[in-house]
Amino acid sequence: MSNQNLKSATKFVHAGANPDPSTGAIMTPIFQTSTYVQEAPGVNKGFEYARSQNPTRKALEEALAIIENGKFGLAFSSGVAATDAVIKLLSPGDEVIVTNDMYGGTYRLFSKVFEKFGIKFIYVDTTEIENIRNAVTANTKLIWIETPTNPLMNITDIAAVADISKQAGALLCVDNTFASPYLQNPLDLGADIVMHSSTKYLGGHSDVIQGALIMNDVALREQLYFIQKSCGAVPGPMDCFLVLRGIKTLHLRMKQHCENGEKIAYWLRDNNNVAKVYWPGFKENKNYEIVTKQMKGFGGMISFELKDSSIEAANKVLCATKLFSLAESLGGVESLINHPASMTHASIPREERIKNGLQDGLIRLSVGIEDADDLIEDLKKAIGPLSAEK
Ligand SMILES: Cc1ncc(COP(=O)(O)O)c(C=O)c1O
């Protein structure tokens, strides 16, 4: 299926799915093979060696392109492997402007792996477009933004950044993991590359680690494909099958994540024991108009700080919930609770974290698709009821 004019629900169900020509199987088979028999040297069916090509991965890569309104998709063995491939487009001396609040593993990859190869990363608050404009130099080759950010839900205007990147002759890559392709399509707004941790909403069932890149430009696709096959961070066929299956219900899951997220965000905001709630849907948020312009909903990710800002108070809540499981990751059907400072963002030095607004006591929720009343009941036992209920 390649018709990009179909409505999103139809795209999610049918993207990449073509009946298997040898059997008619409606679901893409898991081609568990490392190599392919050739008729003669160089005479083959388009598949030579499974690091370079695999039919299950091909079906997934087609699906990724369709659901992000792009021309090409590439699947990687993890989200960070996809990020790694993008940075390998660069050379020593090149500069990257980066959102200062972002997933800790991305920061770790940039600062601990790539800086020593001479690539410079300039971290700015990208919610203010001027900060990006001021950071551009003749060496800027890439702008890397996450929106909404992990974990503070900061919003950056993708279309405005795309204007700057084009003027600067730099690429714009958007980590679209938190929004998912159901809520936001950065290529439509002028981005050059969309990156996903497919581990999250695309897979949707906490059973796979995988990453994705989607782009429109054929030359860029060729460069990234070259890196994919040369560096070898490819996902196995079983994992590709799982993400393909996850994509079929993305729209339904995202609707429920959004609905539950909204109820929980307002409940947290009304709770006297909670000092601050981070959720993209509050009208008084900075850049709220941009959220409504570039996203179709607010998602299921919420962070909050308790009035008692001590780590002990946060720990008590983190250990008290039963339906919200204490775990890293996000985007699965089941709800998770996380402590960014000691878990997902532990690789960011404390000083840097605090400077960017990520407090020691911050708690992050990945709101699942269970019944919202049960989830609120679970949080009520851990945080305390609303004062009117006391
Ligand atoms: C926003 C974001 N980007 C990238 C990643 C990295 O993805 P993976 O864990 O699949 O390597 C994560 C993982 O938590 C993430 O939350």
CA 183, CA 387: separation in Å to the nearest integer? 34
- What are the Cα distances from residue 324, in Å, to 148, 219, 327, 337, 363? 21, 44, 9, 5, 12
Which of the residues are catalytic? Answer: 51, 103, 175, 200
Q: Which of 78, 110, 199 to mutate to test the pocket of ligand 1 (most atoms within 8 A of CB)?
A: 199
Alpha carbon of 80 to ligand 1 centroid (Å): 6
C-alpha dihedral, 81 to 83 to 85 to 86, nearest 10°:
170
Residues of the chain with pLDDT > 70, as a percent, come to: 99
DSSP state, 151? Answer: T
228 pLDDT higher than 70: yes
Alpha carbon of 19 to ligand 1 centroid (Å): 32
pLDDT per position as a tens digit, 233-264: 999 999 999 999 999 999 999 999 999 999 99
Alpha carbon of 238 to ligand 1 centroid (Å): 20
CA 114, CA 283: separation in Å to the nearest integer? 38
Ligand 1: nearest atom to the Cα of 199? 10
CA 204, CA 254: separation in Å to the nearest integer? 10
Buried b (16+ CB within 10 A) or exposed e, 211-244: bbbbbbeeebbebbbebbeeeebbbbbebbbbbb
Query: How confident is the model at residue 387, as a pLDDT?
Result: 78
Residues with CB under 6 A from ligand 1: 78-80, 103, 105-106, 146, 150, 175, 177-178, 197, 199, 209, 211, 344
Alpha carbon of 148 to ligand 1 centroid (Å): 13
DSSP state, 323? Answer: S
Query: How confident is the model at residue 2, as a pLDDT?
Result: 56
322 pLDDT higher than 70: yes
Closest CA to 195 of 85, 312, 306, 42: 85
108 pLDDT higher than 80: yes
Closest CA to 227 of 216, 213, 217: 213
Cβ(175)–Cβ(48) under 8 Å? Answer: no
Summarize the confidence of residues 178-184 as an average pLDDT: 98
Locate 18 and state its tokens: 């073509």
Cβ(343)–Cβ(364) under 8 Å? Answer: no
Query: How confident is the model at residue 389, as a pLDDT?
Result: 73
Closest CA to 202 of 309, 330, 302, 101: 330
Angle subtended by helix axes 218-231 and 79-87, to nearest 10:
120
In whole numbers, what is the pLDDT of the chain averaged over residues? 96
Query: How confident is the model at residue 63, as a pLDDT?
Result: 98
Residues of the chain with pLDDT > 90, as a percent, come to: 96
